[in-house]
Amino acid sequence: MFGSSMDSSQLLQALYETLYMVTISLIIGALIGIPLGVLLVITRRHGIWPNTVIHQLLNPMINILRSIPFIILLIAIVPFTKLLVGTSIGTTAAIVPLTVYVAPYIARLVENSLLEVDDGIIEAAKAMGASPLQIIRYFLIPEALGSLVLAITTAIIGLIGSTAMAGAVGGGGIGDLALVYGYQRFDTLVIIITVIVLVILVQFIQTLGNFISRRLRRN
């Protein structure tokens, strides 16, 4: 392909593996991270459901997980990965550390988005007699929806970068392609092609996220 040591089918397969890892880990990570982010907001001292115990447990736990570099996390939870999927090598195995990495990241992004909601809206909801669950469902999340879309967009882009690192330990995807066909075979063109593909992918996702966020903010 363009005079490099790889062909187009290998690039398409690597792109598929990258999108597969990002999609599955994002879905699972969001299912974990979004509720955690909501809990971080509502259990604050002046939140709609103050609970110091839960907040003091969640906050440091999320900070600890976020402070571990992904490449170290990837290696550190190998036994856990093997326990869940039976192996620590391959695309499916890479989803486990990617999920552990992105869930607390999403939780913190969601927390920041929800904290942007005007306190007056929450106070008005309380004055109308809304329950904490109703406030979350009908006021808090809808008001922060545009910001939440941007938060998820940021998480997706972070995941794409992490999948490239996962390739360094046999995770597959574009990172693995760049390592095997580019770095190890001294083929600079492969590196350039993979970088261009990643740049285009990130630009597309960011543009789409910005567009959706703007539409939601106007409604």
Single-letter amino acid, residue 135: I
Local structure of 136: helix, strand or coil: helix
Per-residue pLDDT tens digits for 164-215: 888 777 788 888 888 877 766 777 888 888 889 999 999 999 999 999 999 9
Per-residue pLDDT tens digits for 70-114: 989 998 999 999 999 998 888 999 999 999 999 999 999 999 999
Structure tokens at 76: 């550190």
DSSP assignment letter at 117: S
Which position has the token pair 């299912």?
Answer: 31
- Count of domains for the chain: 1
**Model confidence at 39, in pLDDT bands (50, 70, 90)?**
very high
**Model confidence at 217, in pLDDT bands (50, 70, 90)?**
confident
Give a yes or no: residue 196 inside a domain: yes
Domain that holds residue 177: 8-218
Cα dist from 169 to 57, 174, 181, whole Å: 32, 12, 15
**Mean pLDDT over the full length of the chain:** 90
Give a yes or no: residue 2 inside a domain: no
0.85 exceeded by pTM: yes
Q: What pLDDT score was predicted for residue 200?
A: 95
Chain-centroid distance of CA 154 in Å reads 7
Give a yes or no: residue 169 inside a domain: yes
